[in-house]
Amino acid sequence: MELVVRPRLCLEVLVDGRRRHVSAGDLMTKWFRRWLGYLVFLTPLDLTDTSGSSFTPSVASPAGNTAFWDIQAGKDGTSPTESDYKILSPASYTLDSYSVIDISETASGITFGLSKRIKMNETTTLREFGLVGGHGVSGGYMQNKFLVARDTGSVPVQSGQLVDIRYTLTLPVPSLTDTSGYTKWFNRALAHMMTAGGYQYYLGNTWLTNWSPQWLYDFATGTEYKAHYTGPSTCYVEECRVGTGTTAPAYDDRAYITEASSTYCTKSYATTEATGSLTIERWEDRTCSSAVTLKEWIVVGRFFDSNQNDRYYVIHRGRNTAGVSIPAGGIARIYFKLVIST
């Protein structure tokens, strides 16, 4: 089975309230893809921070109770590449204000965003724009800021003019097939992690707290719960389960499968990076206690609730209506891969 996550980013630039530049699509860096993969699988790849230094995220980050976001503008028109790690020629401006496009959920997906208003200190042409992310450790100390996206354009500005730069990030509803697709609980978990769970986050040089914790659904207890604010350090793929039901998968799947009796045996991971994508593969073996025909499976995520209790939610549910016959004591291998594609 294959789960494909395709974040979509839109940039809008306004000068004195008038739109001067809009771009959408493939703006994101490989550092952002690596970070997303780390958030889910806790299998970190090196990132490059905005100073050009390489670092490996630790198990404790992006933890604590903070996330970092900023927007930057510059004057270099060199075409973006996915390995860009900084704005190449920062422009001279003064921060006027920040604002937040709060998380919203529609039939198209989950969207959130940021806007930064700057007052120009020079007359120039803005040719590059960047979104910077990062993570913090307990106590709020910010570290390891990295470039999420870089885009180029041509926006002439005068000294004293106000420029609004808006980034909107959407986690779309996946293209479901009869046998595959991930759930909205997975989208909600990603949105929650990228916004520090609504507890507090650091926007430029301002602490803000108005993002709300996301509601997830515990398939084991059948109840909804609020995700814990330290979500990034407490969320990952926990395990797979197998069953005998034949219901088609859906984006809002939350129900427990008709589970077959099996026990965890072993699991393994692999990662592959290519231009525009990062693939994380996992396979898990389960020993079946009796002869059974397996027709469905789920991938289970683990998250803390607001009281720091373990909760489990369905990331993905798939089926094979023909079924696979497993003898008593036989081993069923569940294989899936997550592709983060931009």
CA distance 153 to 148: 17
Q: What gap in Å lies between CA 90 and CA 259, rounded to an integer? A: 56
pLDDT tens for residues 66-100? 567 899 999 999 999 999 999 999 999 999 998 87
68 pairs with which residues across the strands?
134, 202
Bridge partners for 269 per DSSP = 282
Is 227:218 a contact under the CB 8 Å cutoff?
Answer: no
Tokens of 173: 């509803």
Q: What is the pLDDT of residue 325?
A: 96
Q: In the predicted model, what is the mean pLDDT of the chain?
A: 85
Per residue in 113-124, pLDDT (tens digit) is: 889 999 999 999
Per-residue pLDDT at 125: 98
Q: What is the pTM of this model?
A: 0.88
